[in-house]
Amino acid sequence: MAQTNHFDSIAEVFNRIWYFSDDYKEFVIRHIREDLSLTPEDVLVDIGGGTGTFTSRLVDEAHLTHAYCVEPSSSMCSEAAKLENITAICCDADDFLASHTPFSKMLFKEVIHHIPNRAEFWKTLYTSFQNGGKALIITRPQKIDFPFFSAAKEAFARHQPPQELIERELCNGGFETTTHHRSHTFTLPKEDWYTMLRHRFMSDLGVFSDEEIEEGIVEIEKKYPEKTIDIIDNLIFIIAIKKGY
């Protein structure tokens, strides 16, 4: 997974700057639990789990006995290791599968664009699952509705694989897929949004200099003159199942 240096640089402030709303977190957590059909018997792997906040919440709410937060950024993983109800592992997705650690469910929340050679990765994941194993990929369309500046939207589109490509790769790897489109809108104080941009809370923003970020904020300010800003997050939930025989 790429951009680990970027995430190393924001690890200590990540939980504070990536804050949308409690309702947003509840919305995402609820659908993860439902789409993965999480039960207390499951062993969950959260690939690119960052500081482990979602992994930990899923453990508590689904009453899991074991969950791994797999995160290649050492600084982010160090933050996740502070959470007592999960196991933080500093490695990438390929290395985790190579470890042959048993698991039953796997989550990819907004990280799929960081995994190289996905076609081969899905085949390896398929053989790693027992029958009935399930993965959930949460991603976004290439055309994002976030109040980004134009250059940031273009950068996001370049790095974001289209839904149809992910589905095709999964099917070629042996999985059966189901896809849901879900949207959540929330409102933030505009200065909070600008703080998130300045900290480059998404890896696609890491290519921009401080000056470019400030120029982008000026562009956003002209379009959104109010003190608050509406954030429309259109998410794609792709469920991949290894059917039993």
- Cα of first residue to Cα of last residue in the chain, in angstroms, is 33
| DSSP secondary structure code for residue 208 in this structure | S
Q: How far apart are CA 16 and CA 169, in angstroms?
A: 35
pLDDT-derived band at 118 (thresholds 50, 70, 90) equals very high
Contact by Cβ (8 Å): 149, 220: yes
pLDDT for the residue numbered 19: 56
Using left for φ > 0, alpha for ψ between -120 and 50, and beta otherwise, residue 161 falls in beta
Given a cut of 50, whether residue 10 has pLDDT beyond it is no
The structural domain count of the chain equals 1
Instruction: Quick: pLDDT tens for 80-110.
Output: 999 999 999 999 999 999 999 999 999 999 9
The rounded distance, in Å, linking the Cα atoms of 202 and 26 is 20
Contact at 8 Å (CB) between 33 and 62?
A: yes
Encode pLDDT of 19-62 as tens digits.
567 888 899 999 999 999 999 999 999 999 988 999 999 999 99
Average pLDDT, rounded, for the chain: 90
Please give the Cα distance from 39 to 33 (Å, whole number): 9
- Dihedral sign, CA of 214, 216, 219, 224? negative
- Report how far Cα 232 is from the mean position of its chain's Cα atoms: 16
Least confident of 8-22, 69-83, 97-111, 128-142: 8-22
pLDDT at 18: 53
Q: Is 129 left (phi over 0), alpha (psi -120 to 50) or beta?
A: beta
Structure tokens at 175: 């999985």
pTM of the model: 0.90
Q: How confident is the model at residue 244 (pLDDT cuts 50, 70, 90)?
A: low
Predicted confidence (pLDDT) per residue in 149-185, tens digit = 999 999 999 999 999 999 999 999 999 999 999 999 9
Task: Domain of residue 57: give its range.
Answer: 4-241
Q: In this structure, what token pair is assigned to residue 97?
A: 């599968």
**Per-residue confidence band for 188, with pLDDT thresholds at 50, 70 and 90:** confident
Contact 2, 114 (CB under 8 A): yes
The per-residue pLDDT for 203 is 83
User: Is 11 a residue whose pLDDT tops 50?
Assistant: no
Specify which residues 188 forms β-bridges with: 229
Q: Which helix (H) or strand (E) holds 87?
A: strand 87-89
- 């959540």: which residue's tokens? 184
Tracing tokens 């791994």 back to the chain, one arrives at 68
Residue 42's CATH number: 3.40.50.150
